[in-house]
Amino acid sequence: MQQWTFSIQRQLPSMFFLDMAYVGQKGTRLPANLDNINQLPTSVLSLGPLLTQPFDSPAAVAAGIRAPYAGFRGTVAQAMRPFPQYLDVTTRFGSAGMSKYHALQAKLNRTAGPLHLLTSYTLSKNLSNIGGSGFGSGASADIANLELEKAIEPGDALHLATVGWVYELPVGRGKRYAGNLSRPANLVVGGWQVSGTHRYQSGRIVAITGGNIVPIFNRAVRPDRIAGAPARLASCGDVKIGGTLHLNPAAFAVNDRFRIPTSSRTIADFRGCGYYTEDFSVIKRFMLTEKLNLQFRSEFYNILNRHKFANPASNTNSPGDFGKILNVDAAVQPRTIQFAVKVEF
């Protein structure tokens, strides 16, 4: 792994601090399961349907196919393998993996006075040929051309913005406003604090699957991509679970069995629905004595009750569901309101 960064920091008026950085990372010879040294070269696809016939069929015999060893039973494709006595031969921790990450990262912070603000924004792109989790997770369309596997990673988030803030109301004894309140009045008016946490993130990239198996023993099965056809049909503002087509079925087609498919591992021009959430809290602190405080908290999680929709179904071999969003992400909790009392001493 090689990493590099360049950043600029600047102090701004009103106690704000700005930090902007470019962050890069490159991975080479990463553990991956992309190799299958028992794959046939793509040049044999010119034989067409002959590859799937028995090696001793009349057509195969006429084409000069012979048994690779005594007692062999199998197809023409199996007979032509580099090691016809075996099926796939893979390297569990091969070193064909690569990754590239580039990001603009910006932070605007304020940690003084009644307002504490912590904001960040990341614009990033994450490319890889591993398939997400590495360590044996990959599958290649052609081991002789691993460039076909280079694609935006499913976990990539193009835009990610977070905002966290805490504001202590400047009202009450010792504060900017009503600083001379009586003790009973200060119990009601003073000691208020509000805070929030907000997260806004682009949708995840979509991995496309399905299609015909190409009989050269490659392990990636993908459809063809129709040039010029848009991948997106509907926006995330028109979601109807199981009823709205978001991925365009006309943008993909079942691939020819005797040709490497044209679709990439992920769809670069299509992302699922984004993730937006806001948490909010109100805190009231009662100064009972010099050493004893009572804190009452009201906390509102996902206060706007937003949903995070799952990516649309993207297996072209399931045409009934393809392109539709079938469910929401159960990991995102609905709006939750809770109250708490804390004694500080």
- Note the pLDDT tens digit of each residue in 101-129: 999 999 999 988 888 999 999 999 999 98
Residue 34 has pLDDT above 70, yes or no: yes
Residue 55 lies inside a defined structural domain of this protein = no
Residue 140 domain-assigned (yes or no):
yes
| Residue 133, pLDDT above cutoff 70 | no
With pLDDT > 70 as the criterion, what percentage of the chain qualifies?
97
Outline where DSSP puts E strands in 145-186: 151-152, 159-168
Instruction: Specify if 201 maps to a domain.
Output: yes
Q: Give the tens place of pLDDT for each residue, 179-218.
A: 677 777 777 777 889 999 999 999 999 999 999 999 999 9
Which of the four pLDDT bands, split at 50, 70 and 90, describes residue 131? low
Per mean pLDDT, which range of 130-139, 178-187, 301-310 is the poorest?
130-139
DSSP state of 328: B
**pLDDT value at residue 178:** 67
| Residue 56 falls inside a structural domain | no
Least confident of 4-8, 175-179, 200-204, 306-310: 175-179
pLDDT reported for residue 250: 95
* Structural domain count, the chain: 1
Q: Which residue has the higher pLDDT, 5 or 176?
A: 5
**3-class secondary-structure state, position 141:** coil
106 bridge partner residues? 20, 121
Please check whether residue 69 is in contact with residue 85, taking contact to mean a CB–CB distance below 8 angstroms.
yes
Residue 291 lies in a domain: yes
In a domain, 333, yes or no: yes
Does residue 256 belong to any structural domain of this protein?
Answer: yes
Q: What is the pLDDT of residue 291?
A: 85
SS3 readout for 65-86: CCCCCCCCCCEHHHHCCCCCCC
Query: For residue 214, what are the CA distances in angstroms to 38, 175, 330?
Result: 14, 74, 36
At residue 179, the pLDDT reads: 65
Checking if the pLDDT of 331 tops 90, the result is no
The answer to whether residue 48 sits within a structural domain is no
Considering only CA atoms, which of 153, 162, 160 is closest in space to residue 122? Answer: 160
Residue reference for tokens 């008016």: 189
Average pLDDT of 137-161?
87
Q: How confident is the model at residue 135 (pLDDT cuts 50, 70, 90)?
A: very low
Per-residue pLDDT band at 136 (split at 50, 70, 90): very low
**Nearest to residue 233, comparing CAs of 323, 313, 307?**
323
Asked whether the predicted pLDDT for residue 79 surpasses 70, the reply is: yes
In whole angstroms, how large is the CA radius of gyration of the chain?
Answer: 29
Q: Is the pLDDT of residue 3 over 60?
A: yes
CB-based contact 278:302 (threshold 8 Å): yes
Helix (H, G, I), strand (E, B) or coil at 251: helix
Which structural domain range is residue 107 located in? 2-39+88-344
Verdict on whether the full-model pTM lies above 0.95: no
Question: How confident is residue 132, by pLDDT bands cut at 50, 70 and 90?
Answer: very low
